[in-house]
A and B are shown apart, each in its own frame.
Chain A
């Protein structure tokens, strides 16, 4: 390594940086027009850096004002706001969106910001969704909703009679019903839906009996079976979840087979194992005759991991690592409210039986925030979350907290009765109350 110079001048490293107060250039230097100096790639980098730091310290909604602060400095700094590359990077980094649904990435960022601001300010459009009750054919289990799933375009409701009803979020109309074929099997409720995985084009759902069905929402392919359940060998499929690449099932009833993981592209099973539900075997089998049994909860994160919980334990497993445990937390002493558990992005939430809720980062051993869910010790709690907000439904009310600050914000709803399922995305919240009402709140900026 060498750096030789034809001059003996020192690079000036001994000079100290003067910060804080205004300091113009020394009088011996030409007082240049600084407006023309700042290179745009640098300013883009600076804007991104400022945004990321502000998101960390002040929260996602503080990013936009900090950026405008930069744009107001001068015309050169303002020009950075026209860089769609900058907005693309910020939208992904701050809001977790990698695809664009608006004309420009700047528009996408603004939409995300406004939607999150609507969430914080309780600005939403409320509606109830309806389907033809004659579809149920008098079967009471056709009105017992077991799970809800949201995509960008649809809401899917899974029922105890094996049906999944699909609603278009833009029109709020019921557009399809998919029915798991009844092939007999153990117990009254082997056909009950235990979970739904949905993208904009494909819907996958599973039943307690372990059957998995796939249908293309755009009508490209009819409902077909992807996996035939085997209750005797595997136990009851109590929860089913997935992300782009993986399907994962939480089973109870046969020791050592708590988790089944499938590659969603090939539909091949790649892992079976785990002891999370070994202590819940009896309760698992009871689900086939008693839908009020709650054995466990399973959710998938953005990091290709799954969060699974029973009343005494939380386990985070690596899906790409075929079930490798990442974190194992014991709740034997305090007890966990299984129906409070949810995950979104890189975080998950759990509430213990004393009402203490913790939001944790999946990949790091740190708590993001702690919340106090008053009344949780005495009421049934149904929980869900999106990246910025946690929602808990108890005693007929849906309470909303801001996750970044752990602050309780407002009651989204009161007096809606007991809720059997609730789900949130970055734009929508949906809940199914036991009077068979499907509630939908739309916080979208449009």
Chain B
């Protein structure tokens, strides 16, 4: 007697292959990601809904190096049965990278509209800037301030209420 796999089986089977989405990075690398993982991205979700995901989706704003990590992140967060504590630990390790890589994550998360990655990187940056003055934050991130003394005074003036 033959038996067919249960409809909700997580394992891929010949009769029920997982749908894969192809992504192409700015430097021409191609990555495949399960549709369930791709849905972590609102940008990709819209494309899937509009049936535009048949050919590799070009992502001109994301390099291959970063796209690989983004795929890894989305896949992990779409994985069934992962408890919150394990996921938090995994996330902590995921963002334990160079500052410049964190920036790249932010840009990719913004472009692809991945709320979970945006929130994660947001927490990282919030930790980085805690207790720092504006000047220290500029130096930390190598931000070139374009405030003239008059402009800075204007910002202080329009926000003087915060210090009354």
A interface list, Cβ under 8 A from B: 1-7, 9, 11-13, 15-19, 21-26, 29, 31, 33-35, 37-39, 41-42, 45-46, 49-50, 53, 64-65, 67-75, 78, 81, 110, 113-114, 117
**Chain B facing A: main interface SS:** helix
A325 to B121, CA, bound (A): 41
The listed residue (A19, A39, A41, A67) touching B99 by CB distance below 8 A is: A19
The listed residue (B98, B102, B155) touching A71 by CB distance below 8 A is: B155
The listed residue (B103, B129, B162) touching A37 by CB distance below 8 A is: B103
The listed residue (A4, A31, A114, A117) touching B32 by CB distance below 8 A is: A4
| Sample (13) of A-B pairs whose CB atoms are under 8 Å apart | A5-B68, A7-B29, A7-B64, A12-B101, A17-B95, A17-B98, A25-B142, A45-B118, A49-B126, A68-B163, A72-B147, A72-B156, A113-B162
Instruction: Assess A5 versus B134: contact at CB under 8 Å? Given A17-B99, A114-B164.
Output: no
Residues of B within 8 A of A71 (CB): 155, 159
Contact B155 A78 (CB under 8 A): yes
The listed residue (A16, A21, A75) touching B97 by CB distance below 8 A is: A16
Q: Does B122 contact A (CB under 8 A)?
A: yes
Known: A11-B68, A12-B98, A68-B162. 17 other contacts (CB 8 A): A2-B32, A11-B65, A15-B97, A15-B98, A17-B99, A24-B142, A39-B106, A39-B107, A46-B122, A49-B123, A53-B126, A68-B156, A74-B144, A75-B147, A81-B159, A110-B161, A114-B164
Shortest distance between the CB of B5 and any CB in chain A (Å):
18
Contact B122 A9 (CB under 8 A): no
Instruction: Assess A69 versus B133: contact at CB under 8 Å? Given A4-B31, A75-B146, A110-B161.
Output: yes
Contact B118 A42 (CB under 8 A): yes
Query: What 0/1 readout, one digit per residue, does chain B (82-105) give for beta carbons within 8 Å of chain A?
Result: 000000000001111111111100
Instruction: Assess A5 versus B30: contact at CB under 8 Å? Given A15-B98, A19-B99.
Output: yes
Shortest distance between the CB of B133 and any CB in chain A (Å):
7
The listed residue (B72, B110, B126) touching A50 by CB distance below 8 A is: B126
Contact A45 B31 (CB under 8 A): no
Residues of B within 8 A of A53 (CB): 126, 130
Residues of B within 8 A of A69 (CB): 133-134, 137
Contact A73 B137 (CB under 8 A): yes
Instruction: Assess A1 versus B75: contact at CB under 8 Å? Given A12-B97, A78-B155.
Output: yes
Shortest distance between the CB of B13 and any CB in chain A (Å):
15
Shortest distance between the CB of B144 and any CB in chain A (Å):
6
Q: Which residue of B lies closest to A51 (CB)?
A: B126
A122 to B147, CA, bound (A): 36
Q: Which residue of B lies closest to A40 (CB)?
A: B110
Shortest distance between the CB of A118 and any CB in chain B (Å):
9
Residues of A within 8 A of B162 (CB): 64-65, 67-68, 113
